[in-house]
Chain A
Amino acid sequence: MGIRIPSLTVADPNEVLRPVHPGFVALTLFGALFLNLLPVSGTTLALRPDFLALVLLYWCIQAPRYVGVGIAWIMGLMMDVGDATLFGQHALAYAFLAYAAEYFRRRVLRFPLWQQAAQVAALLALCSALVLLVRVVGGAPLPGWMFFVPAATGAILWPFVSVLLQMPQRPVRSSSTL
């Protein structure tokens, strides 16, 4: 009987992981959408990372079979309705994010977590920039640099998200083999 050893690191790229359960992917995506819809305001709102973008990014890198441009686009549409923003702006940004993730995924995975976080910050900032572009074209005023704070907080959360989302895929080890 195997006892699960919870390890708080991610697997190194050569470790063989168990296949991702598509149900788990869906659950985490909707969980992230739920976190995005939580009613907060003020500073918390300004600091809150875009959880959905973060989780989408993770699955696009780790499980491109299940999550790609199409899923990201559909989740973006839901975010647009939840946010009452222009229909399609998050959809466009998330689709682009998914594409970028698919393009860079082999490179990102080779780095240690904190270096991955730096690259994730760039990708999330790109995603925000795209939302910003759509809004400015739509006639909104420039919101100032605070608009990119969630990209930074998202990157800070990246190591935690990686560890958390990878847990179910870690191979089960019995305590005797350690």
Chain B
Amino acid sequence: MSYLPVEPPAFFHRGPSPATRLIVVGLCSIALLFLDTRYRYLEQVRQGVAAVLYPLQRAAALPGEAFASVADYFVSKKTLADENDRLKRRLAEQGASAQAFESRERENARLKALLELKSGYRGTAIAVQVLYTGRDPFAQRLFIDKGREGGVVAGSAVVDADGVVGQVTRLYPYMAEVTLVTDKDHVIPVKLERSGVRAVMAGNGAGRAPELRFMPPSADVKVGDMLVTSGLDGTYPTGLAVARVATLERETGQMFARITLAPVAGVDRSEQLLVLSQASEMPARPEEPVATEAAKKTGKGRLRRGG
């Protein structure tokens, strides 16, 4: 059986064949992937493409916003009154503790001054709105409507009314990408509010509860314990609510207890968020003992580097 030749005659050639092109762009993609995972060299390129994409992203957010504003318009008066009541009650409840907080804060500052401790610098907060969530249902990211021009700084903590939502991981001129606390391998240093035990909370990806890692089975943890940020990383301010202990399995045979957590913030719901600027200026880390390492190097020949 005869068939038509797949290749067009030579005078119809338009550049390289699809296979050649596929190989070229395939290699380019693999190079990009490699550079992006290993070195993050490509932020400039990404910013360039983002500038082209920005109007489209903004436009894509519009129908949702329009729908929300129309829906707002038709909210019944009763709903509004109810909500108003609830908020007033909540404000009154919190007013008392806020006053107590202020006096404690002053007391704390005095005591710290007495002890000559460096006081934590109180950062500012920027109110932002969620623009859209990532298209990928398995990545725990979202985009907010303020970026570098709005004063957002990469690495800032993002919170809602109830607790920590995530962290700003990438900055664009007019928007920013937030990685949620439930994202896989997103780690926050926390402490148990009740016992003060320090720990790290690690996200486990979409649909799976975050967990408290590296806790010995004997650790002082109970179901329902509140976890707050410990502030040890200098990224998150101290004392923000993060999650509650949901389940707890202690098996004496295991090295660590299995502790799963439930975030207290509306990680997958909240629309209005606050970006907190860097919490405190951490004292510089102590220098690595370079001299001794150099000495070892000469002594032992090769030394394994971490990382």
Contacts and interface: CB of A to CB of B under 8 A. Distances in A.
B138 interface: yes
A14 interface: no
A23 to B, nearest CB: 17
A20 to B, nearest CB: 16
Contacts of B52: 78
Nearest to B141: A84
Interface residues of B, number: 47
Given A73-B28, A87-B46, A39 B37 contact: no
Given A140-B184, A141-B184, A81 B46 contact: yes
Contacts of A73: 25, 28-29
Interface string B215-252: 00000000000000000000000000000000000000
Q: What DSSP secondary structure best describes chain B's contact surface?
A: helix
A37 B132 contact: yes
Interface in B134-151: 134-139, 141, 143
Given A34-B60, A38-B60, A78 B53 contact: yes
Name the residue in B18, B25, B59, B143 with the highest tally of chain A Cβ atoms < 10 Å from its Cβ: B25
Interface string A68-81: 11100100111101
A78 B60 contact: no
A51 B53 CA distance: 16
B266 interface: no
Nearest to B43: A87
B45 A87 contact: yes
Contact of B33 (A38, A39, A86, A102): A86
Contacts, number: 124
Contacts of B184: 140-141
B18 A103 contact: yes
A78 B184 CA distance: 24
Contacts of B26: 92, 95-96
Interface string B27-52: 01111110111000010011001101
A92 B30 CA distance: 8
A87 B50 CA distance: 12
Contacts of A138: 33, 37
Contact of A85 (B14, B139, B143): B139
Interface in A14-44: 30, 33-34, 36-39, 41
A147 B205 CA distance: 14
16 contacts: A34-B60, A37-B53, A45-B137, A70-B25, A78-B52, A81-B50, A81-B53, A82-B53, A83-B134, A84-B141, A87-B46, A92-B29, A96-B26, A141-B205, A143-B137, A143-B138
Task: Please provide the 8 A-B residue pairs with the shortest distance between their CB atoms, ordered closest to farther.
Answer: A39-B132, A88-B32, A92-B29, A37-B60, A88-B29, A69-B21, A87-B36, A73-B25
